[in-house]
A and B are shown apart, each in its own frame.
Chain A
Amino acid sequence: MRRALQQSGPSIEHSTFERIALPLLTAAIVTTIWAAAVKFSGTKIFPSPLAVARAIATLDEKSLLWRYIADSLVRVFAGYSAAIAVGIPLGFLMGWHESLARAINPLIQMLRPISPLAWMPLAVIWFGVSNAAPMFLIFLASFFPIVVASMNGVRNVPPMYLQAGRNFGLSTSQLMIRVVAPAVLPRIIVGLRLAFGIAWVVLVAAEMIAVDSGLGYLIIDARNAGKRYDLVVAGMLLIGVIGLLLDTGIRAVEKRISDQ
């Protein structure tokens, strides 16, 4: 029954118009409500959409906009890449060797629910005021979902695939490369996307300490230096938009892999 459903042709394709126009319409409505709410409430604190746009333009003029974005992205990618480099091999080993998983998994499951932000004080002591502190927090945030996804992926490779691989004379390393890796790839990509979402959330908080650049720093600095709420909201919007773009990118990769 499940197979029959999977074979029953492509899912309903939404037109490009709907995929782009509908979200834009929502954005337009929300912006209008936002502008109207600011105007009619007479708030002195919350900025109007126009004020936020001007704030972003000012950042650009002071050539801070792209520098902050670039600094944030570098930190995220450094911590995230390190998490991939350590997490995937470790996950593979734990998925393959049950005794290793027995030994390490409880530790991982104990550390996993601790918010990466709880590590902040320690990160500052260990790494001081430097890029390394937020990178370490990003690493922690993305490491656990990646390890767990890789381990579960390897554990759940259908035994028939392994048996077939061995039957055709593959060594263990060949089996890893030619059977296990492609079999777990779809699952790992899901783990990677999940990890990236968490990493991006943690980044902002991580940049509120220890560094003096980046989008998280922009928000905390704008508040501390003269309550510039237009800059605060500008920072929030930038974080949201960049997060959306990156998630869309990862989803596109995920779809290509699962379509294969």
Chain B
Amino acid sequence: MKVQFDDVSMRFGAMAVLEHISIGVEEGEFLCILGPSGCGKSTLLNIAGGFLAPTAGSVTIDGDRVTAPDRRRIFVFQERGVFPWLTVEGNIGFGLFDLPEEERRRRVAQYVQLVGLEGFEKAYPRELSGGMKQRVEVARALAVNPDVLFLDEPFGALDSITRLQMRSELLRIWRAERKTVLFVTHDIEESVQLADRVVVISARPGRIQRVVDIDVAHPRDLSSPRYIELRDLIFGEIGLAHQV
């Protein structure tokens, strides 16, 4: 297992946020952590990223216990995490400070291209749309060549059309780079479109309610019976009738 959660529990004071989370993530897997707002899924990701220490249990990556943030595993926020004082190039090269200039430039150019921002290298974030800023952040994370990416509702602030585009972009990049991805979302459709497996977390205190294998080949047909079946299964699991 690449990432192993071992009986992780988290309390903030008297409030139990997560209880007994145990699950393994395979190398190269795309895992979605799905749950209602406030269920502790972001907390779980922050624990895996080394930004929070769990109250009990542990997370190990490649067999080593996670105790602090590490450049081999990068956390991607909503697009607000890009540095407004740096250009697109400056942001993407941010983590490459210990590389020689030549190598740095090559790497930055490579990832500018991967996320489709050619021509915007010298632009500042305020000149970019939300979707473009999100690409900058993904490129900044990938440029340091991490093994694991943690994405915390990365497309939550985007409009629904851009969000759809960004999902297929992310899948394209994931196939090209083969990173292990842990993706937190509260969007059921999003999780079924993206993930190899969806971990459904219950309302607080968050526990693993169910793990659903999404056995639909990419590119996924969003009207295929299997897709709809899995989606409805998760809707039911979360306790929502699929009707408005």
Contact = CB atoms under 8 A, between A and B. Distances in A.
Contact of A167 (B74, B80, B83, B126): B74
Contacts of B80: 158, 160
A168 B75 CA distance: 9
B81 A169 contact: no
Contact of B71 (A169, A182, A183): A169
B131 interface: no
A119 interface: no
Contacts of B74: 167-168
Point out which of A3, A7, A164 has the most chain B C-beta atoms below 10 A from its C-beta: A164
B213 interface: no
Contact of B81 (A7, A161, A178, A185): A161
A167 B49 contact: yes
A189 to B, nearest CB: 13
Interface in B71-102: 71, 74-75, 77, 80-81, 83, 85-86, 94-95, 97
Contacts of A168: 71, 74, 94-95, 144
Contact of A169 (B51, B70, B77, B86): B70
Contacts of B71: 167-169
Nearest to A6: B126
Interface of chain A: mostly helix, strand, loop or mixed: helix
Given A179-B83, A260-B85, A167 B69 contact: yes
Given A167-B74, A179-B83, A260 B94 contact: no
B120 interface: no
Given A3-B130, A6-B126, A7-B126, A167 B75 contact: yes
Nearest to B83: A161
B174 interface: no
A158 B124 CA distance: 18
A163 interface: yes
Nearest to A160: B81
Interface string B97-141: 100000000000000000000000000101001100000000000
A163 B51 contact: yes
A39 interface: no
A154 to B, nearest CB: 15
A166 interface: yes
Contacts of B69: 163, 166-167, 169
Given A3-B130, A7-B126, A169-B95, A164 B85 contact: no
B21 to A, nearest CB: 21
Contacts of A179: 83
Nearest to B124: A260
Interface string A179-198: 10011010000000000000
Closest 4 pairs (CB-CB, A-B): A168-B95, A182-B85, A169-B71, A160-B81
Interface of A: 3, 6-7, 158, 160-161, 163-164, 166-169, 174, 178-179, 182-183, 185, 260
23 contacts: A3-B130, A6-B126, A7-B126, A7-B129, A158-B80, A160-B77, A160-B81, A163-B77, A164-B94, A166-B51, A166-B69, A167-B71, A167-B75, A168-B71, A168-B74, A168-B94, A168-B95, A168-B144, A169-B70, A169-B95, A174-B97, A183-B83, A260-B85
Interface of B: 49, 51, 69-71, 74-75, 77, 80-81, 83, 85-86, 94-95, 97, 124, 126, 129-130, 144
